[in-house]
Amino acid sequence: MAKLYFRFGAMNSGKSTALLQAAYNYEERGQHILLAKPEIDTKGADQISSRLGVARQVDFLIRPGDDLRVLFGQHRARVKELAEEALIPESAATGARPDVACLLVDEAQFLTPEQVDDLLRIVVEDDVPVLAYGIRTDFQTRAFPGSARLLELAHSLEELKTICRCGRKALFNARLVGGRFVFDGDQVAIDELSADRVTYESMCAECYLRESGGRLR
């Protein structure tokens, strides 16, 4: 039975690296996959890239109003077509089918709740596993709508861990503009879209509260 997986963690916890490793593992065994990410994530344009320097182009970008069932169906049909034409080689040793074995979604926090519902339908009705990777909360410790819905619906939840500057487990994502911590602003601010350079730092609760003056939102 296929499942919906949500693998989450603070910034710089290796989510994109883990996704690309999972993609490699499927393909090493002769399986066909689809990679996707929300269009709003402009870092790397149409690529998924890790801090280790590994990058790969996605099969499709997801816009806020897109029906993910429709998008997935279109690209799944193309994978089958290419496989049947032998343009995507199958491995006789593994017995791989000319179909999509898994859908992997990066930056899943930027999905709408309706699109997360679509992911569950892909899992249940199309019997295709979905691996979604993202962060739970924004720089004000508020859950992203996509992440909140994934926490509600996913069959499996897995936390990818990283550490704070002090060595404790990082939970939150603090925002810096021009190198200074800020705690007000829009939920989404991606550095390439900002006049001042926007960066983020993964922090434990103690360090976050110290920098925010005790604020949690």
- CA-nearest of 115, 20, 103 to 63 is 115
**Using N-to-C axis directions, what is the helix angle for 113-126 and 145-153, rounded to 10°?**
30
The whole-angstrom separation of Cα 53 and Cα 111 is 25
Please give the single-letter amino acid code of residue 12.
N
Establish whether 152 is a catalytic residue.
no
User: In the beta sheet, which residues pair with residue 7?
Assistant: 133, 158
Separate counts of helices (H) and strands (E) for the chain: 5, 11
Q: First-to-last CA distance in the chain?
A: 40
Distances (CA, A) of 53 to 23, 41, 213: 16, 18, 36
CB of 140 closer than 8 Å to CB of 175: no
Which candidate in 39, 85, 107, 114 is catalytic?
107
Question: Which of helix, strand or coil describes residue 139?
Answer: coil
The whole-angstrom separation of Cα 186 and Cα 138 is 10
**Residues classed as catalytic:** 107
